[in-house]
């Protein structure tokens, strides 16, 4: 079975003390992922080592970065490279979150270089895509999101692309409390899997977990995840409330 994933994205929230408490509360629930399931915490850089060491002994729990720089190394004060993340044992990194595309002006070509650097450094990229409200209202969301995949992933070969994770996050659903309906999520995920199959073949496309993100919470996770092409969620707000995230993990199929 394709990997099913509950990924927390804390963004720029929580102090170290709050982060430690939250991790303890979630891990204390002792939810044992099945062999095809994975729980990932995408945390701010200063909490990566804490998170890594907290989950070290746990089965299928991992720490993830929320970003890495698009250059290998050099005079980029304040930035963090994929190589650095690898050197401290981090195995996942979010690439191209819509907040970074918008506020840091990250474009498709830049994200393609981040994807390459992650892969070179044995880090699994969690590649984010998704359309803003105006595009959804114009009804051109399929073309828009397909282009995002094309710009940042189509240079890869089938074997490599089958190792990454994709997160479809409609921008209008992020942090708004407005979730895509189960049907809207399934429709887009199925479409994206088709786009990937056309380019890379059905076998590779079937391996890639496609997570849904945008106001996932305990009350809607099970229904969203029940769709055949929705392989779990990338969760912001609700991932910082222990009881909520615990239920979201339990909702994985």
| Site for ligand PGA, rule CB under 6 A | 9, 169, 174-175, 213-216, 234-238
* Of 69, 97, 99, 106, catalytic: 97
Q: Are 251 and 216 in contact (CB under 8 A)?
A: no
DSSP string, 106-120: --HHHHHHHHHHHHH
Q: Smaller CB distance to ligand PGA: residue 96 or 117?
A: 96
Residue 98 has, within 13 A of its CA and on its CB side, a CA count of 20
Q: Which is nearer to ligand PGA, 54 or 244 (CB)?
A: 244
H or E stretch covering 204? helix 202-207
Give the nearest distance from C-beta 152 to ligand PGA in angstroms.
17
CA–CA separation, 51 vs 139, rounded Å?
A: 40
Least Cβ distance, residue 14 to ligand PGA (angstroms): 14
Q: Shortest gap between Cβ of 180 and ligand PGA (angstroms)?
A: 11
By beta-carbon proximity to ligand PGA, the closer residue of 42 and 204 is 42
Q: Of all residues in this chain, which one has the CB nearest to ligand PGA in the complex? A: 236
Rg of the chain (C-alpha set): 17
Residue 39 or 174: the one with the smaller Cβ distance to ligand PGA is 174
Reply yes or no on whether 169 is catalytic.
Answer: yes
What are the phi and psi torsion angles at 65 (to 5°)?
-85, 165
Q: Which of 38, 99, 131, 169 is catalytic?
A: 169
Class of residue 35 by CB neighbours under 10 A (exposed 0-12, middle 13-18, buried 19+): exposed
State in angstroms the smallest separation of the CB of 196 from ligand PGA: 21
What amino acid positions are annotated as catalytic residues?
97, 169
């Amino acid at each position: 079975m394709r990997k099913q994933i509950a990924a927390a994205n804390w963004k720029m929230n929580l102090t170290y003390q709050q982060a430690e408490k939250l991790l303890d509360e979630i891990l204390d629930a002792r939810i044992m992922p099945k062999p095809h399931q994975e729980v990932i915490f995408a945390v701010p850089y200063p909490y990566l080592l804490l998170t890594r060491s907290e989950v070290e002994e746990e089965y299928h729990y991992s720490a993830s970065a929320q970003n890495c720089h698009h250059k290998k190394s050099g005079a980029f004060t304040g930035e963090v490279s994929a190589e650095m993340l690898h050197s401290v044992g981090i195995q996942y990194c979010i690439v191209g979150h819509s907040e970074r595309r918008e506020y840091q002006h990250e474009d498709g070509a830049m994200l393609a270089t981040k994807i390459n650097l992650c892969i070179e450094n044995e880090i699994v990229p969690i590649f984010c895509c998704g359309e803003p409200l105006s595009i959804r209202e114009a009804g051109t969301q399929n073309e828009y999101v397909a282009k995002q995949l094309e710009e940042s992933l189509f240079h890869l070969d089938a074997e490599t692309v089958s190792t990454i994770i994709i997160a479809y996050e409609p921008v209008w659903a992020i942090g708004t409390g407005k979730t895509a309906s189960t049907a809207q999520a399934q429709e887009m995920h199925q479409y994206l899997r088709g786009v990937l199959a056309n380019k890379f073949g059905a076998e590779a496309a079937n391996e890639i977990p496609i997570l849904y993100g945008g106001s996932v919470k305990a009350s809607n996770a099970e229904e969203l995840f029940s769709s055949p092409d929705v392989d779990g969620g990338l969760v912001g707000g609700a991932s910082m409330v222990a009881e909520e995230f615990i239920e979201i993990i339990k909702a994985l199929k």
